[in-house]
Amino acid sequence: MIDRRTQRVPTVLSIAGFDGSGGAGIQADTKTISALGCYAMNVLTALPVQNTQGVRNIYDIPTDAVREQLDAIFDDIPPDAIKIGMVHSVALVRCISDYLHAYTGPITFDPVMVSTSGHQLIQEDTIQACIAELFPKATVITPNLDEVSVLVGRSINTPEAMQAAGTTLLSMGCNAVLVKGGHLSSDTLSTFLMQQSGLTTRYESSRIATQNTHGSGCTLSSAIASFMAQGKTLDDAVSSSLDYVHQAIQGSKNLRIGKGNGPLNH
């Protein structure tokens, strides 16, 4: 969405992991940010070796390399909004948190923990660091139900339990939480945006029967960042992003890419 008078494009930085098969991580983020008319930039945090069937291995990116990537972006193209995805070690959480201490734009944090294929994407000791360091910095966090269950320490599978868990997550220090219901087993999927102000918004959508959902969480969080980079409020950004992901899943439900959970069609 270029401002015709200034030729300026809203800039969005995704700080996230890699998916060479093109469905999740920085690849999903870049497609989403571009499709929504913003300018996409990336800082790579980890190199998972993966495809639509699963994650085969994860190679670390050294902390210094992450800091240098951040320097290169911030020295040149300041981001209007940031999305943080896979951050799988305590050292990286601290590095990113320290780096962003003076950043005043909106930050969407997707606390990525386990892939759809069941692979652990975060080291155990990193979860507490994410809560302590990244939750307070984020404008909104966007956990799925598996991640919510890990964060609050109990299994969550009803809309009532989702709201109670959202209250617990707010008490852990985040400014707002989007408790995503994509993993509910019902035909109607409820998602809740809960904010420190006490405002709770409920969104409902119908389940789309498809296994092509690889990268849907990455897509949603980078869409929220993109809409906020364009100046939308958090509520509007979330609502537009949920629509965007729903349409992307609808548009890809019959796509045949890969042998596993296929990607979204942006």
In the complex with ligand PLP, the residue whose CB is nearer, 29 or 133, is 29
The string of DSSP codes covering 14-64 is EEEE--TTSSSHHHHHHHHHHHTT-EEEEEEEEEEEEETTEEEEEEE--HH
Q: Which of 12, 13, 15, 19 is close enough to bind ligand PLP by CB under 6 A? A: 19
* DSSP structure class, residue 262: P
Give the bridge partners for 16, in sequence order.
44
Residue 214 interacts with ligand PLP (CB under 6 A): yes or no? yes
| 183 vs 147: CA distance, rounded Å | 11
Q: Whole-number minimum distance, CB 141 to ligand PLP, in Å?
A: 13
Residue 252 interacts with ligand PLP (CB under 6 A): yes or no? no
Q: Which of 217, 226, 234, 241 is close enough to bind ligand PLP by CB under 6 A? A: 217
In the complex with ligand PLP, the residue whose CB is nearer, 165 or 218, is 218
Structural contact between residues 198 and 170, judged by C-beta atoms closer than 8 angstroms: no
- Of 169-177, 189-197, 210-218, 247-255, the segment contacting ligand PLP by CB under 6 A is 210-218
Q: Whole-number minimum distance, CB 109 to ligand PLP, in Å?
A: 12
In the complex with ligand PLP, the residue whose CB is nearer, 11 or 27, is 27
The string of DSSP codes covering 94-124 is HHHHHHTTT--S-EEE----B-TT--B-S-T
Q: Which helix (H) or strand (E) holds 68?
A: helix 63-74
Q: Which of 21, 30, 108, 115 is close enough to bind ligand PLP by CB under 6 A? A: 115
Contacts with ligand PLP, residue ranges (CB under 6 A): 16-19, 24-25, 48, 50, 85-86, 112, 115-116, 214-218, 261
